[in-house]
Amino acid sequence: MSVIVITQNEEHHIEACLRSAHFADQLVVLDSGSTDATRELALALGAEVSENADWQGFGTQKNRALALANREWVLCLDADERLTPALQKEIAAAIKAPAFQAYSFPRLSSYCGQYMRHSGWYPDRVTRLFRRGAAQFSSDLVHEKLLTHEAVGQLKGVLLHDSFASLESVLDKVNRYSTAGAKQRFDKGQSASLAGAVLHGLWAFIRTYVLRRGFLDGRMGLVLAISNAEGTYYRYLKLWLLCRQHLAAREADNTSDARVPR
């Protein structure tokens, strides 16, 4: 089995990630220009480390990493994820006697030090184990998906996701992902309004805290619902601003054309 991981400045996570996949035949790390010790730590653990700093989004980068895998089965992990012992055993058994071409498993994510078991965060099933050639990743900038036409089996072991160690990391990701999400929607021809941005943000809070029972996660459930609302609001606000800038540029071009003597 090949394990593929894409990285950038993940020295705090990469060791735990790769150690949890110690039973793999091949460890592939595709780095996008780390300035910390990510690559050195990965090399020390026996990983095959390559670099491609031409960042075109998570989906494209993961497909590049997939192209470096040379075993029959592929397991894709994010650098801040790690396999539990129960999931390790299930994966080993699944690829030894496969009943499916791809498998999903539940992911349990932490938020500022607390694992969130509600709020729409669990069980967050992700399809990450597949026979090479049976699947590939979408080309999305963010929130990429594994695409396959095969039936997907379900494993029970849990994948741990140390997603947000601090509020600073939350705010950083909200900013980066809302920018990428806005650009992705703009490139697809979507538009937004200021009122729509506010309403989308409000709906994200209601969905997270009420419908997905975020209140059962205690105070951190409220904090998470608010940050989800902010992320959604900023995504649509940035999309609205992109549309305004594009419209202003078009109007300026038309005005300039109108002044050209004929």
pLDDT at 141: 86
228 alpha-carbon distance from chain centroid: 15
Residues in the chain: 262
Angle of CA points 23, 27, 28, to nearest 5°: 160
Q: Name the segment(s) of the chain with CATH classification 3.90.550.10.
A: 2-163
pLDDT at 35 (0 to 100): 97
What whole-number distance in Å separates Cα of residue 248 and Cα of residue 262?
A: 24
Distance CA 261, CA 246 (A): 25
Answer for the pair 59, 141: CB distance below 8 angstroms, yes or no.
yes
Distance linking the first and last C-alpha atoms of the chain? 67
pTM score, whole prediction: 0.86
Nearest Cα to Cα of residue 103 among 136, 77, 128, 124: 128
Tell me which residue of 63, 241, 91 sits closest to 153, measured CA to CA. 91
Secondary structure (DSSP) of 183-228 = HHHHHTT----HHHHHHHHHHHHHIIIIIT-GGGGTHHHHHHHHHH
pLDDT of amino acid 256 = 67
| Cα dihedral 218→219→225→230 (10° resolution) | -170
Q: Along the 262 residues of the chain, how does pLDDT read in single tens digits?
A: 999 999 999 999 999 999 999 999 999 999 999 999 999 999 999 999 999 999 999 999 999 999 999 999 999 999 999 999 999 999 999 999 999 999 999 999 999 999 999 999 999 999 999 999 999 999 988 889 999 999 999 999 999 999 888 999 999 999 999 999 999 999 999 999 999 999 999 999 999 999 999 999 999 999 999 999 999 999 999 999 999 999 999 888 877 666 655 5
Question: For tokens 């996008």, what's the residue?
Answer: 32
DSSP 158: P
Q: Does domain 2-163 have CATH number 2.40.110.10?
A: no
